[in-house]
């Protein structure tokens, strides 16, 4: 991935990592970080260091995070995976959430909330949060019911829905692999989580049909849900009923808007600054979403930024040139690129042809280094 939004880290860990990448000390993606999420004492992720129990404490923690260098604010509106917390029980009152939204606006940034409970989602949406993570519509333990009126409010207010479907999917997948070793009570628990995931996928399909701004998101960073699997969230949306193109836009154009970088990321076209590199895949992602079909990843500036369109290949297949629109591009050296030929892009003095490289190799060991831009 070229850009990573981290919404929960211990102390300054990810903030310092971001600064090291920005300073060129290490190689990594563009990072937008919240620092420790704001949560109640003993609440979900309290161990990360962002506890606040009143509106005044919420303001104090938000201001402290901003001074520390946070790009966005993250607030936990109900419990989660932390022991002795419950995702169906709201954690913050309306005035406390309102205080966090006010701080985000005063600092010209976003407030993104962790919310599974329908009531917690409602409080966040009515307060004016920028995005809701998970958005499960939980009413009780394992009880998911889509709330059409609340969904309409989400659409009306333009709140981004970061579904994190792959967190539940990957957890269940790995549990199934160890099914024979699980006790009866553990199997019952995982069966209940399967029902919740199925309901979440149905919710996402309904939100997409209503025109909600759904964003592919991972919830990665813990043992059962690893980094490097961003494509799974988009594939799950297709399984839920979205078209491949709809799913792809949730991870490109809409994701770029959600993190406030639509002028730089998510699409490819005139006026983009900086110009995104191109990722070419020997597949037709508008028809289907292959797991590993990348044939060329070009790095034009400091960032790896895939987007989505197709162009015909020599053999009749389609190469995916990831962008939502395509026009005249200008490379870092100032060369123009118009209407690329079927299997090559002409960058001035050299022609770069597609290879059979897969995504991991293309990403970790690019054929064209920074000096070749």
Give the pTM: 0.78
Reported as a single tens digit per residue, the pLDDT across 168-214 is 999 899 899 999 999 999 999 999 999 999 999 999 999 999 999 99
Domains of the chain, CATH where assigned: 3-258 (3.20.20.140), 279-372 (no CATH)
pLDDT tens digits, one per residue of 205-264: 999 999 999 999 999 987 778 888 888 999 999 999 899 889 989 999 999 999 999 988
Query: Mean pLDDT, the chain, as a whole number?
Result: 79
Instruction: Write the pLDDT tens digit of every residue in 305-331.
Output: 333 333 333 333 333 333 322 333 333
CA distance readout (Å), 158 to 35, 122, 201, 213: 25, 14, 20, 7
Long-range interactions of 260-265: CB distance < 8 A, separation 24+ = 260/110, 261/3, 264/305, 265/2, 265/3, 265/305, 265/307
pLDDT grade for 345, boundaries at 50, 70 and 90? very low
Q: Is 152 helix (H, G, I), strand (E, B) or coil?
A: helix
pLDDT at residue 330, rounded to an integer: 30
Please say whether the beta carbons of 222 and 174 come within 8 A.
no
Q: Which tokens sit at 363?
A: 């990403």
Distance CA 45, CA 362 (A): 35
15 Ramachandran zone, left/alpha/beta (phi>0; psi -120 to 50):
alpha
CB 248 within 8 A of CB 234: yes
């Amino acid at each position: 991935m070229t850009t990573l939004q981290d919404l929960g880290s211990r102390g300054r860990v990810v903030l310092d990592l971001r600064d090291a990448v920005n300073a060129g000390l290490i190689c990594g993606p563009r990072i937008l970080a919240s620092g420790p999420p704001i949560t109640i004492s003993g609440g979900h992720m309290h161990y990360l260091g962002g506890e606040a129990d009143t509106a005044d404490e919420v303001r104090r923690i938000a201001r402290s995070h901003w001074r520390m260098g946070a790009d966005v604010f993250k607030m936990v509106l109900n419990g989660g995976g932390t022991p002795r917390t419950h995702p169906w029980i709201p954690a913050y009152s309306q005035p406390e959430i309102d205080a966090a939204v006010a701080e985000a606006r005063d600092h010209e940034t976003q407030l993104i909330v962790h919310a599974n409970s329908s009531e917690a989602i409602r409080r966040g949406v009515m307060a004016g949060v920028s995005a809701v993570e998970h958005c499960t519509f939980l009413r009780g333990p394992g009880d998911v019911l889509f709330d059409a009126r609340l969904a309409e409010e989400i659409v009306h207010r333009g709140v981004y829905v970061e579904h994190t479907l792959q967190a539940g999917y990957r957890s269940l997948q790995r549990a199934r692999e160890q099914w024979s070793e699980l006790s009866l009570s553990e199997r019952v628990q995982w069966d209940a989580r399967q029902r919740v995931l199925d309901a979440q996928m149905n919710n996402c399909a309904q939100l997409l049909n209503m025109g909600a701004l759904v964003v592919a998101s991972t919830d990665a960073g813990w043992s059962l849900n690893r980094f490097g699997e961003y494509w799974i969230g988009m594939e799950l949306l297709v399984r839920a009923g979205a078209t491949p193109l709809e799913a792809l836009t949730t991870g490109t154009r809409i994701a770029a808007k959600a993190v406030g970088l639509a002028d730089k990321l998510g699409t490819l076209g005139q006026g983009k600054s900086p110009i995104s590199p191109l990722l070419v895949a020997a597949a037709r992602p508008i028809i289907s979403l292959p797991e590993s079909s990348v044939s060329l990843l070009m790095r034009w500036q400091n960032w790896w930024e895939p987007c989505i369109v197709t162009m015909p290949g020599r053999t009749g297949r389609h190469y995916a040139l990831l962008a939502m629109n395509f026009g005249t591009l200008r490379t870092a050296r100032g060369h123009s690129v118009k209407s690329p030929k079927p299997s090559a892009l002409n960058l001035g003095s050299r022609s770069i042809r597609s290879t059979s490289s897969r995504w991991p190799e293309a990403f970790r060991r690019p054929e064209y280094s920074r000096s070749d831009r």
